[in-house]
Amino acid sequence: MSTTGQIIRCKAAVCWEAGKPLVMEEVEVAPPQKHEVRIKILFTSLCHTDVYFWEAKGQTPLFPRIFGHEAGGIVESVGEGVTDLQPGDHVLPIFTGECGDCPHCHSEESNMCDLLRINTERGGMIHDGESRFSINGKPIYHFLGTSTFSEYTVVHSGQVAKINPEAPLDKVCIVSCGLSTGLGATLNVAKPKKGQSVAIFGLGAVGLAAAEGARIAGAGRIIGVDLNPKRFEEAKKFGVTEFVNPKEHDKPVQQVIAEMTNGGVDRSVECTGSIQAMIQAFECVHDGWGVAVLVGVPSKDDAFKTHPMNLLNERTLKGTFFGNYKPKTDIPGVVEKYMNKELELEKFITHTVPFSEINKAFDYMLKGESIRCIITMGA
């Protein structure tokens, strides 16, 4: 492409300070350096993690910054040493990576790459610590190594999944974070057998993706647990068959579920980050074979407390990161599940806005109206 090796000027939605609307700016995007690729972003979507760091609650604020980490685009150019990607490839940039060389990448059981594991504090690129974004010579910080709220972005090649070019990027862009986290928690970690019962704690986007995983696995009963009764109707589209609102019961929810299921569910997936929900999700699984999987991120001072007999009675507690998917190796296969009509993505997409109206996506999420809002970059 004619822009190879050149600085590209393009539009980006810049966050100048915590909690303030993003501002459309012209930014300069430097060419990719060693092991980096520059991507033209065509579609991006808003995830709760973007909102959390935009609000700057509970972490070191780093501004000005370009948020965004669920997206689909096309490789514009590649830096030195990049051999597995080339201009024109259809890709999903991903907030965590796969270097291919570390013990985690060599392990069949782990996706927690030593080099490219999620880092929320880093505002520059790994190669030199510098930002590839600037306005009038002043750096604008990166977010999660992706920064997809920009028409062009630079990403480490280990954080880029090359996908089927026939896949519609306005749909499969949501595979690059929340959807795969929930889906993989069920399919790769909880692994329900056909006909088994599954409880999903939290019916936001990740919880609904976990329910979708249970539906694909052929679960017999999928019990949704949420404090918001408005979510129950929507969740039926994702295979949820029964609902429990803990506020409507005067006994612990794990007891309610045990009574509903003759001793407990076969599998549970917790997608809230609430320590109470984590304990409930573990204690509601059946003794002898029950497996509980924790997905939600707790507060830093939380402690998980349960009686050791719950473990000795052969219940299993597991944790997962990004659904145990390796970004480069496994995410193309998730896209193929959609292409083969096993996985339904359209029902996750509740809103679409042009890039110029990106702040509307934040409004929808803050009001609890959206599951996923697609932001169309060219519009």
Q: Both tokens of residue 201?
A: 């704690």
Q: Both tokens of residue 91?
A: 């890709």
Catalytic residues: 47-49, 69-70, 99, 102, 105, 113, 117, 177, 372
Q: Which residues of 193-227 are buried (b: 16+ CB within 10 A; e: fewer)?
A: eeebbbbbbbbbbbbbbbbbbbbbbebebbbbbbe
| Pairing outcome for strands 291-294 and 316-319 | parallel
| Contact by Cβ (8 Å): 226, 243 | yes
